[in-house]
């Protein structure tokens, strides 16, 4: 059996989830799992081996910025690849996400295949 790495998608918009599920739907690594809240993501990350996180900025209750900050404040997640996808119109959002420790920022609409390529690149670099 092949051990497949898992990427955690933190997204609450169903069309974004579907688009990335299609991009990651194959017999090769990485596999995509998803949750709709940052709080659930933190629980999953505490109990499951995750190779990378893709998060939206605008999430219910805790936003993606806080999720990034909380992950980067834990030594075990210091090198976890984090990618951000967002439709946030604030031009400061990409810089803010990257300064908090995100590895990449993709404005919506984005290319799902570009995200998959970046995830694979970051996983293999870590």
Spatial separation of the C-alpha atoms in residues 71 and 79, rounded to whole Å: 10
If DSSP codes are grouped into helix, strand and coil, which group holds residue 5? coil
Q: Are strands 31-35 and 52-56 parallel, antiparallel or unpaired?
A: unpaired
Residue spans of beta strands (DSSP E) within the chain = 6-10, 31-35, 52-56, 82-86, 104-107
The sheet with strand 31-35 has its strands ordered as: 31-35, 6-10, 52-56, 82-86, 104-107
Spatial separation of the C-alpha atoms in residues 116 and 9, rounded to whole Å: 12
Distance of CA 59 to the CA centre of its chain: 13
pLDDT at 20 over 60: yes
With bands split at pLDDT 50, 70 and 90, how would you rate the model's confidence at 27? low
pLDDT at 1 over 70: no
pLDDT tens-place string over residues 35-67: 999 999 999 999 999 999 999 999 999 999 999
Q: What is the pLDDT of residue 57?
A: 96
Q: What is the pLDDT of residue 124?
A: 84
For domain 6-125, the CATH architecture is 3-Layer(aba) Sandwich (3.40)
Q: What is the pLDDT of residue 65?
A: 98
Q: Give the global pTM.
A: 0.93
pLDDT at 106 over 70: yes
């Amino acid at each position: 059996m092949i051990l497949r790495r898992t990427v955690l998608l933190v997204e609450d918009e169903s069309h974004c989830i579907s688009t990335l599920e299609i991009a990651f739907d194959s017999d090769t690594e990485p596999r995509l799992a998803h949750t709709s809240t940052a709080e659930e993501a933190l629980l999953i990350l505490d109990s499951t081996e995750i190779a990378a996180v893709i998060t939206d900025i605008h999430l219910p209750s805790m936003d993606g910025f806080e999720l990034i900050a909380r992950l980067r404040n834990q030594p075990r997640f210091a090198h976890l690849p984090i990618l951000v996808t967002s439709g946030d119109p604030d031009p400061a959002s990409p810089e803010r996400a990257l300064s908090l420790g995100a590895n990449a920022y993709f404005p919506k609409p984005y290319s799902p295949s570009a995200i998959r390529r970046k995830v694979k690149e970051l996983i293999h670099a870590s």
